Structure 1
Amino acid sequence: MDDEYSEIVKIALRDAGNKLLLTNQDSTSRVLPITKIGNNRYQLSFQNTLSIQPDSLVSIMESSLAKLGIPEHYRVEVLQCEDSEVAYSYEMMSVIDNSEIPCAERDLPDACYILQVRFLNGPDLVSITYLILLAIVILSFGFAFRKKEDPELAAVERNYAMIGNYEFHLEQSKLVFNQEESNLTKKECELLEILNERINETVKRDELMKRIWEDNGVFVGRSLDTYISKLRKKLKLDSSIKISNVHGVGYKLEVQV
């Protein structure tokens, strides 16, 4: 149940992120994949810089979460990318009179921001079931009428992720490009999953090796380079995809929009 709830939260936060971009007259840049960074805590980030109007942020977040029936008791923090300092924060409670929403003297200027949202009351079984049913109804209605498909919503329904023009089927250990399938080994799947979770971000070499090899009791220095090379070959049909070697740090899965 927790996995289903997390997916619903990610859909709502992605919707909020897209609306924030539209307030900046930006309809082309991407909301990066929503990540769960702790218990009932999620992170929302953007491909490009943006300015944030606190009043708009409050109303957009409330609308996007309420649309999927997510409980209203949550805290939002806007962090500056360069130093992780909190530029703005507020807390929303189920009773609006008790919400702590500070007035901002001015809009947050155009810069790189990360939004972190923490839900202060964990969902119970009844709430999760209700949210799942509500999400199914909303998504079914949306799929019938929207012209352009949202990749993250589609991934929930189809159970695969889009990486550029590739379909990444984690459970089936394969990539699909123009109906042509390419099988992946277990290690290739694990590596691609981690890189895709933090797309367009550098993932440290030590982290990759620890999560994929050391946790399984095996630690081979050249294994990572070998599997990166294999993934590059299997993703080469899409020129918008590149796995970059950040010298001395790690690797980055880059997808051009």
Structure 2
Amino acid sequence: MSQKLRYIIPAIICLFTISWAIPFEQEKSNPKAERVKIALRQVGNELLLSNKDSSSIIRPVVQLNALQYQLSFEGKLAFLPDSLVAIVDKNFEKAGLSKNYIVEVIRCQDQEVSYSFEMNFNQNKTIVPCSGRKVANACHQIEVQFIEEADAVSESKLAIAGLAAGLLVFLIVGFRKNNTTRLRTSSEESEATDIDVYTVGSFHFYPKQNKLAKEKDTIALSKKECELLVIFANRPNEIIKREELTKTVWEDHGVIVGRSLDTYISKLRKKLKEDPTIKITNVHGVGYKLEVE
């Protein structure tokens, strides 16, 4: 048997073992639509009753996609966040629905998020902010996004996968021991081009200096605001998904906090409002777009 085959055959066996031990595909939590709609209508009824409103109409619950639902009302709605959290949690548990979900309360007028929270089986990932601050009376829609759940992998499979992965690493190291090659990182292959100033409408944006300038006025930006605005400035009039914005600005640094993205988008909007030819719009359920006339 040749020297290469001595390593290749065991490596193939290891790969098959790992693929058996840890499934590549994760099952999605896809709750029954009828059960979700019933639970959401009960949520809407209890919210209206908490406002002493027993006559307003609850519109039909709309299924936006396999895991997302929308509840809306004929009239206006005001509520205490802790009451909303308790009502949703109680009715979802009663209906036997997943405990992994995100709730967003969206103003009809401008599609801004008035309040949101996340529930999770893992209590450390549950995020319920500003529970005591009342949300003002307005036309609101409530959207629920169920989060995908992965099936648990048995301890025995994890142990086998760990052993197989360790053996695979050992084989790779042995095969390459006398044939190591220095890998060049992307930063060594090419230098990133840093842009000193962007033109955003009537603003001049200086990312290295964390500031916006318009005529004689200067507006300071935070680091996160700068990182978001660089993405938008490089891709004007293009829809950028929430996942991409969050991953680029937060996840790569190891921290994602609740509705951080929406908070910083709102801050950017306020700082750009002096120029009516530009605006950051919310593409519902997808992401955001910097519109430049």
For this structure pair, what is the TM-score category when the shorter chain's length is used for normalisation? Answer: 0.3 to 0.5
TM-score, scaled to structure 1: 0.45
Bigger radius of gyration among the two: 2
